[in-house]
């Protein structure tokens, strides 16, 4: 295999050439992702339904409600937009440096190693909700579109989002048919009519649809998560397999690829550079939150009033992608205005450091929560109420906001970023900061 060291020297982005606003907003998104992930990390089967576990009253329901309005899917959306932006930043810089065809070589090697990190996160660090694996899968598709016109990228992303919404609508309509057939058959049964086999099946299908996880299954799963590393690993095999096979092609393609394409366009028009007008970011904030939070509110109210009825939750999902998109745009407006203002400079510097170490910090979430929740650590899985999980979130935030800047005082990259870059460029990258430079 030809070694890149025999070619013109291509290297990762230097600190001087970094775009600070990208690092700050990436840091915000990285920390924000934990707001939703923590529910899947610390509770059984209750990511979107607090009636299953973790509590659905008092502070618990308030936490769920706030997340539904502002954070469900939006921090992931923001992080995905930045992935698309980072793709354009990387390939543009390499092509300008004369990398030529090596641009593809470097990019695809980078994506390959991201996929490996995703597999490690799922199968070794035990986080079944990993996004690195699907990022790598759909990142493989981006390279041919790097020179695609901005308008085409945005339209393509919106089309994908709409297709995902259409699929959600189709699923809900199928659910209604299950209900209609099941209820009709039940009425016939009550009237004393002898049922056909197909009508009996309709009743079974409707009853199965309405079922939530049984207390016995929740208890068994919770106890298994409090056992040793090998027991937890084996218990998660089926869930991991589901999340890395069927799930990406039913949900992630509309959820992730769409935002990558839009993120590529946003980088090209310098949305994330902080150089656009304050007025533009203000419009992002007003329109984004005005439409997005309104849609999210209507969805949340619908679900609450139904007491988390499964059919109604599927009904609310019909507009999920629309509300998520606009709320994410509102986040962009708010965070870019925050960055442009220059206020809380110490916090912005800390967030930028978290963003520069995003991969390390993301994997660290899995390491810390595995130790806290599973049996080979403190075995807290299923023991905390939903709102109590956010004491852990806040602690992790403080820890990473403090340690990331300190680390980057002495090292050029986070440890996993350094490894990723060294593997990508097939050359050991400088790690420690040379104080003489």
Distance CA 119, CA 125 (A): 9
pLDDT of residue 436: 63
Checking if the pLDDT of 66 tops 90, the result is: yes
Mean pLDDT of 196-211: 91
Mean pLDDT of 29-51: 95
Checking if the pLDDT of 237 tops 50, the result is: yes
pLDDT digits (tens, 9 = 90+) for 204-230: 999 999 888 889 999 999 999 999 999
Distance CA 378, CA 375 (A): 6
Mean pLDDT of 106-122: 97
- pLDDT-based confidence at residue 194 (cuts at 50, 70, 90): confident
Distance CA 296, CA 66 (A): 10
Mean pLDDT of 360-383: 97
pLDDT of residue 13: 57
Helical (H) or strand (E) element with 293: helix 278-305
Of the listed ranges 3-7, 108-112, 143-147, 390-394, the least confidently predicted one is: 3-7
Checking if the pLDDT of 68 tops 90, the result is: yes
**Which residue has better confidence, 331 or 214?**
331
pLDDT of residue 17: 57
pLDDT of residue 437: 55
Computed from CA positions of residues 256, 27, 326, 266, in that sequence, does the dihedral angle turn out positive or negative?
A: negative
pLDDT of residue 279: 96
Q: What does the DSSP 8-state code read for residue 249?
A: I
- pLDDT-based confidence at residue 3 (cuts at 50, 70, 90): very low
Q: What mean pLDDT is reported for the chain? A: 93
pLDDT digits (tens, 9 = 90+) for 154-190: 999 999 999 999 999 999 999 999 999 999 999 998 9
- Cβ contact 248:140 at 8 Å: no
Mean pLDDT of 400-422: 97
Checking if the pLDDT of 2 tops 50, the result is: no
Checking if the pLDDT of 8 tops 80, the result is: no
Of the listed ranges 63-72, 88-97, 255-264, 428-437, the least confidently predicted one is: 428-437
Checking if the pLDDT of 250 tops 60, the result is: yes
């Amino acid at each position: 295999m030809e070694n890149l060291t025999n070619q013109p020297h291509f290297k990762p982005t230097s600190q001087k050439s970094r775009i600070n606003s990208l690092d700050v907003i990436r840091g915000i998104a990285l920390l924000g992702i934990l707001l939703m992930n923590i529910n899947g990390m610390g509770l059984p089967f209750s990511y979107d339904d607090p009636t299953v576990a973790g509590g659905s009253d008092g502070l618990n329901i308030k936490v769920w409600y706030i997340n539904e309005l502002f954070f469900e899917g939006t921090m992931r959306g923001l992080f995905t937009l930045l992935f698309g932006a980072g793709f354009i930043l990387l390939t543009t810089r390499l092509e300008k440096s004369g990398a030529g065809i090596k641009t593809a070589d470097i990019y695809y090697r980078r994506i390959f190693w991201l996929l490996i990190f995703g597999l490690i996160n799922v199968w070794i660090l035990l986080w079944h909700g990993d996004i690195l694996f699907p990022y790598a899968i759909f990142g493989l598709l981006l390279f041919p579109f790097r020179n695609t016109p901005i308008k085409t990228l945005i339209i393509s992303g919106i089309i994908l989002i709409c297709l995902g919404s259409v699929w959600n609508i189709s699923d809900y309509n199928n659910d209604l048919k299950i209900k209609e057939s099941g209820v009709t058959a039940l009425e016939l049964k009550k009237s004393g009519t002898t049922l056909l086999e197909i009508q009996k099946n309709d009743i079974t299908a409707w009853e199965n649809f309405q079922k939530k996880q049984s207390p016995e299954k929740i208890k068994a799963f919770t106890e298994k998560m409090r056992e040793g590393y090998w027991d937890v690993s084996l218990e998660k095999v089926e869930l991991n397999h589901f999340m890395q096979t069927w799930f990406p092609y039913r949900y992630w393609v509309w959820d992730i690829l769409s935002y990558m394409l839009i993120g590529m366009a946003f980088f090209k028009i310098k949305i994330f550079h902080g150089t656009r007008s304050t007025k533009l970011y203000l419009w992002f904030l007003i329109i984004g939150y005005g439409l997005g939070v309104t849609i999210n509110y209507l969805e949340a109210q619908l679900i609450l009033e139904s007491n988390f009825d499964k059919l109604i939750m599927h009904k609310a999902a019909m507009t999920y992608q629309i509300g998520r998109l606009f709320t994410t745009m509102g986040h962009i407006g708010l965070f870019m205005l925050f960055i442009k203002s220059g206020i809380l400079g110490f916090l912005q510097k800390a967030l930028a450091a978290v963003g520069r170490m995003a991969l390390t910090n993301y994997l660290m979430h899995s390491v810390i929560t595995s130790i806290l929740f599973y049996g080979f650590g403190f075995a807290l899985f299923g023991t905390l109420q939903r709102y109590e999980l956010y004491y852990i979130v806040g602690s992790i935030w403080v820890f990473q906001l403090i340690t990331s800047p300190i680390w980057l005082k002495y090292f050029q990259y986070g440890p996993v970023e350094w490894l990723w870059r060294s593997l990508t460029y097939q050359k050991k990258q400088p790690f420690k900061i040379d104080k003489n430079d």
